[in-house]
Amino acid sequence: MIGFYNINKPVGMGSTSIVSKIKRITKAKCGHLGTLDPMATGVLPVAVGKATKLFDYFLNKDKKYFAIGKFGVLTDTLDSEGKVIKRDNKKVTLQDINSVINEFVGELSQVPPIYSSVNVDGKRAYDIARSGKEIELNPRKINVYSLSAQEYSNEGCFSFEIHCSAGTYVRALIRDIAEKLGTVATTVCIIRTASGPFKIEDSYLLEDVENGDAKLIDIADVIDLPKHEILEEEKIKLLNGMNVKINLNDGESLCYYKGNIIGIVETKQGYSKIKINLWEKV
**Which of 134-153 are b and which e, b meaning 16 or more Cβ less than 10 Å from the residue's Cβ?**
eeebeeeebbbeebebeebe
Which residue in the list 37, 79, 96, 176 is annotated as catalytic? 37
Q: Contact, 267 vs 253, CB < 8 A?
A: yes
Q: Is residue 127 among the annotated active site residues?
A: no
- C-alpha closest to that of 43 among 57, 25, 23, 61: 61
Query: CA-CA distance, 173 to 226, in Å (whole number)?
Result: 37
CA-to-CA separations, 282 to 1, 145, 257, 258, 259, in angstroms, rounded: 11, 44, 11, 10, 11
- Give 3-66 as a DSSP string: EEEEEEEPTT--HHHHHHHHHHHHTS-EEESS---TT-EEEEEEEEGGGGGGGGGTTT--EEEE
Q: Which residue stretches of the chain are H helix?
A: 15-26, 94-100, 125-130, 170-180, 206-210, 232-239
**Under a CB-based contact definition with an 8 Å cutoff, are residues 26 and 48 in contact?**
yes
Give catalytic residues, as residue numbers.
Answer: 37
